[in-house]
Amino acid sequence: MAPYASDDSTTGGDADEQRSGRRKAARYIVPVTVVGVAAATIGLVPALADSGDPDLPKITAQQLIEKIAKSDVQQLSGTVKVSTDLGLPNLGGLESGLLSGAAGQDEGGSSAEPTAKLTELASGTHTLRVAADGPDKQKLSLLENAAEYSVIHNGKDVWGYDSKSNEVYHGTSSESPERGKDRQPPATPKDFAEEALKAVDDTTSVTVDGTAQVAGRDAYKLLIKPKQSGSTVGAITVAVDAETGMPLKFTLTPASGGAAVVDAGFTKVSFAEPAASTFDFTPPKGAKVTEEKDLGKASGKPFDKGGAREHAPKAGEDFGKGLGGLDGMKTIGEGWNAIATFDTGGEGVPSGGAGGDLGGFMDSLGDKVHGKFGSGTVFSTRLVNALITDDGKVYAGLVTKDALVKAADAGK
């Protein structure tokens, strides 16, 4: 479904102009929203309110990280509650269309395509059911009001099913282990905790912050905090199952304070073998089935062999790596203060005077800034900030607005 519908009274020329303007608006907002989506996807690592502090043997941060790395949970099933508050601007429902468009749900796409559907996790509170039985069988279901969306990986088949639209997506799992891992839907919290731990370096403080009980399981709490100033990330807490080493909790709080940006968690978890039928899927009668090889053909939009847009970030990757396929993409700085930058080709955000209604709309979403680089507009969430200069350069990262202006000045 396209994110916009033209008014019946609009002339053909006007409608084309409006659609063009909206597509530009979506493109400008993507640098802000797409990283929010990645952060929300990482947030699938569960987090739940603690219920008591169990008495566990002492452990160092290094030992706990090694415990996570050695964890080899192959079978599990459970229910996860995910809450995400990125502080995205209220666009009256428009933001969901922009997020879907950024992820690949566009003309010629399918509402059952996993990347597009799971962008809904970028805001609000959602309930998921997850199950896994080894590397070849995983299932994730997003429960909605009177509807359900599921991604099932069983052997070489990857299915997506949206019961609301009765649409089915079908793809095939890659024979390459690394590419296959990228293609599979999120299966265990460990997958996402590993991505968060990739940020741990000399710019990071890592400590053990006591114990907790999550979904009836005793766990250690690993606290990860940036040492550098200027990052929007305040802290990440991962609760690690004391027995299996599998992460059971993930909470990301912003440096600005307030509620967590991401707070997600298991309400139930079992490490017993799921029933084999859990991973069976046959398209319902009358369902519209879209094959991955056909995605994008109708609109001529490029998709990679996995059915996702060429430059869409993979789940769990940071902004710089996720958009690494863009021409001229560079990373400035290191650690938590890393800033991704690229040139759009000289097409900056239209101002209210130059861009008419579109310019006014964009002005209302961002803050105008000035520096040695000239002028530009900063679009912000509680976690990600993105600066688009008037000459079309983009600077984005988990950093403050001032850090982006300094980066733009240094790059001039």
Choice between 4 and 17, residue whose per-residue pLDDT is larger: 17
Q: Strand 288-291 relative to strand 124-133: parallel, antiparallel, unpaired?
A: unpaired
308 exposure class (CB count in 10 Å sphere: 0-12, 13-18, 19+): buried
| pLDDT, position 280 | 97
Q: Which residue has the higher pLDDT, 399 or 14?
A: 399
Q: What is the mean pLDDT of residues 379-405?
A: 92
∠ CA 335-338-343, nearest 5°, is 160
End-to-end CA distance of the chain: 41
Read off the pLDDT of residues 57-83 as tens digits, 9 standing for 90 and up: 999 999 999 999 899 889 999 998 888
Show the beta-strand stretches assigned E in 85-198. 124-133, 137-144, 147-154, 157-162, 167-172
Checking DSSP bridges between strand 288-291 and strand 167-172, what pairing results, if any? parallel
**Within 13 Å, how many C-alpha atoms sit on residue 293's CB side?**
2
Task: Please give the backbone phi and psi of residue 358, each rounded to the nearest 5 degrees, phi first.
Answer: -65, -45
1 pLDDT above the threshold of 60: no
For residues 220 and 241, give the distance between their C-alpha atoms in angstroms, rounded to a whole number.
Answer: 7
What is the DSSP-derived secondary structure letter of residue 357? H
DSSP state of 54: -
Question: Across the chain, what does the average pLDDT equal?
Answer: 74
Whose CA is closest to 115, among 198, 40, 5, 25?
40
With 50 as the cut, is the pLDDT of residue 48 above it?
Answer: no
Question: What is the per-residue pLDDT for 398?
Answer: 93
- Taking only the tens place, the pLDDT of each residue in 209-224 is 999 999 999 999 999 9
- CA distance linking residue 404 with residue 412, whole number of Å: 12
What tens digit of pLDDT does each residue of 337-380 get? 999 998 887 655 555 544 445 455 555 678 899 999 999 999 99
